[in-house]
Amino acid sequence: MENPKKDIRAQRLEILIRELILRKTDELSFDSADDFRREDDGRISIDNFGNENKNALGLYEQLLANVFMGELDDVFLSQSLLGIEGTEREEIMDLARKYMSLCFYDGDISYWADSIEGVHLSDLDLICMKLLDHYDFLLGLIKAGGEDVLKKLVPLQNTSLTGTTSIIDALRNIFPNDTILKDVLCTLWREDGPYHEFTDSQKKILLEFPRGIFYEEKGKIIEKIPAEELKKKLYQTHFGEVPEENIPFEVFLKSFPNEESFERLVLDTHFAGYTYGGYTYKTK
């Protein structure tokens, strides 16, 4: 069965390339005009264009520059903004451009080819499709949480969380799906939200180990772990059970005065009950 998400990524890329060529023909430079031909209906065919084409790298660089500068907003196929038009759509896309660095390694668009983990540099089609998909995720994140969420993601760039990729790529790689990730990001830093007791540095550590912290797998079903349930899990990891006496969570967190001690707690919770090679990890 074909993956519909893969189809939408390929369709988005093809539409953007066609529009770029139509609108920017005089600004684009190619070694050969044979790479593109017009079909009988007047459409430009890019069937011969791909990873092996000597013009691919340059075209994709120009394509991404135009997309992230807003030159192709009107033809950007967005799953995140379905049904949103006019001023609201424009405002979301304007905000996405302001924070486009979240989609790139080191926050720099010039590193676009190094911004997707696990994809060989020769597979430019896939790199470009994933980058455009990350951009669409960013649009959806803005729709769900506004600029406040993006402001909190900026300091996480170039940290142990991102490694050698972008913050958006890193987070989407370690979370099981976008729905849980967006929900976590939109509630994690809310001042009156369920995670308000944690410091920003502690929240970063939580994000690094999401399984057993923000979600759990029950067979083939993936369920989000509510914040209050997470707090009980952390209590249980530390004490061996949830204490009968009421210990305010803010007081409990003071038992971990530095990042190293808190990370140990999170790691123990993350691995609790995890079975690997026949061995079940236990914290106590």
pLDDT tens across 124-163, in order?
A: 889 999 999 999 999 999 999 999 999 999 999 999 899 8
Check residue 7 and give its pLDDT: 82
Pull the structure tokens for residue 54: 């000597």
- Whole-number Å distance between alpha carbons of 19 and 24: 8
Count CB neighbours of 182 within 10 A.
20
> Is the distance from CB of 57 to CB of 124 less than 8 angstroms?
yes
Is 284 in the same domain as 179? yes
Check residue 76 and give its pLDDT: 96
- Whole-number Å distance between alpha carbons of 109 and 146: 22
Is 15 in the same domain as 145? yes
> Is the distance from CB of 133 to CB of 103 less than 8 angstroms?
no
DSSP string across 172-196: HHHSS-HHHHHHHHHHHT-TTSTTT
Residue 107 included in any domain: yes
Residue 27 included in any domain: yes
User: What are the Cα distances from residue 71, in Å, to 32, 63, 109, 208, 260?
Assistant: 25, 9, 16, 35, 46
Is 184 in the same domain as 132? no
Nearest partner of 32 among 61, 53, 63, judged by Cα = 53
pLDDT tens across 162-212, in order?
A: 988 999 999 999 999 999 999 999 999 999 999 999 999 999 999 999 999
The span from the first CA to the last CA of the chain, in angstroms, equals 45
Is 84 in the same domain as 218? no
Pull the structure tokens for residue 144: 């769900």
> Is the distance from CB of 235 to CB of 252 less than 8 angstroms?
yes
* Total domains in the fold of the chain: 2
Residue 169 included in any domain: no
| 3-state DSSP of 199-262 | CHHHHHHHHHCCECCCEEEECCEEEECCHHHHHHHHHHHHHCCCCCCCCCHHHHHCCCCCHHHH
Where does residue 269 fall: left (phi above 0), alpha (psi -120 to 50 degrees), or beta otherwise? alpha
> Domain of 60?
1-159
Is 151 in the same domain as 186? no
Nearest partner of 107 among 194, 168, 172, judged by Cα = 168
Is 136 in the same domain as 1? yes
pLDDT tens across 220-278, in order?
A: 899 999 999 999 999 999 998 877 778 899 999 999 999 999 999 999 999 985 544 44
Residue 150 included in any domain: yes
pLDDT tens across 48-92, in order?
A: 444 444 567 888 899 999 999 999 999 999 999 999 999 999 999
Pull the structure tokens for residue 212: 């057993």
pLDDT tens across 14-43, in order?
A: 999 999 988 877 666 554 444 544 445 444
Q: Which residue's entry shows tokens 């308000």?
A: 196
Distance of CA 225 to the CA centre of its chain: 20
Is 226 in the same domain as 270? yes
- Whole-number Å distance between alpha carbons of 60 and 70: 15
